[in-house]
Amino acid sequence: MELGLKGKVAAITGGTQGIGRASARQFAREGAKVAICSRRADKVQETAQELEALGTEALGIAADVSTSEGVEQFIGAVIKHFGRLDILVNNAAVFVRTPLAETTPAQWEHLMGVNLGGAFFCSQAAARAMGRRGGRIINIADVGAVRAWPAYIPYSVSKAGLVMLTRGLAAALAPRIQVNAVGPGVVLLPEGFPKASRKRLSARIPMGRHGDPDDVAAAVCFFATCPDYITGQVLFVDGGATAM
């Protein structure tokens, strides 16, 4: 069944790997035109070619959306190339272990700048670009927004802030723009993650397994096409982990 994305223009930050890449591929399969950005120029072009091979028009931009220059560069390029913007997915993020006693001001600022500041200013620029036609903004949050992780406090704070940003934007941009968030659970495990630990982790999830980026991408596509009466919501894609 078609989702109604054909001809739409979707911009995805951090679109070269993981959830961002999976979402870009899903949008492309559904006929949307896709723009992605990343700080790595080689990965951006490689992913853009991969999307074009799926039969869509794709644009790859090397930009750092934690800076105002990077935001302007990315959103400006999307409008210049496609002439419009319908969907923004704020996916770019950094995930760094930061024990309380060892966290530096630079780490705090970097995590907030990418995970929260980038989403705010990309949304600000996207809202201007969407204009009266309106559109959708989808933020990628995390179960860490509602569960305390002592070794990742700045990351969790940034994702909790992203949940409140979603609600604030939803109120500020209604009724022309709908803003929602997807909160992934255990989706991407580090390379070399021990098999025994993987089994123990999966056993604690009601669905009995860890997730996959495509699970999250499906939720992103839902918010890109759902009724416009749905806004300011957070959908946790975590196999039921937050229900426990």
On the question of a cis peptide bond just before residue 99, with omega within 30 degrees of 0, the verdict is: no
Is residue 229 among the annotated active site residues? no
Check: CB of residue 11 under 8 Å from CB of residue 51. no
How far separated are the first and last CA of the chain, in Å rounded? 33
Cα Dmax for the chain: 53
Q: Of the residues 27, 155, 223, 236, which is catalytic?
A: 155
Q: Please state, in angstroms and rounded to a whole number, the distance separating the CA atoms of residues 146 and 160.
A: 7
Beta strands 177-184; 234-237: pairing state: parallel
Task: Answer whether 230's CB lies under 8 Å from 177's CB.
Answer: no
Point out the residues that are catalytic: 155
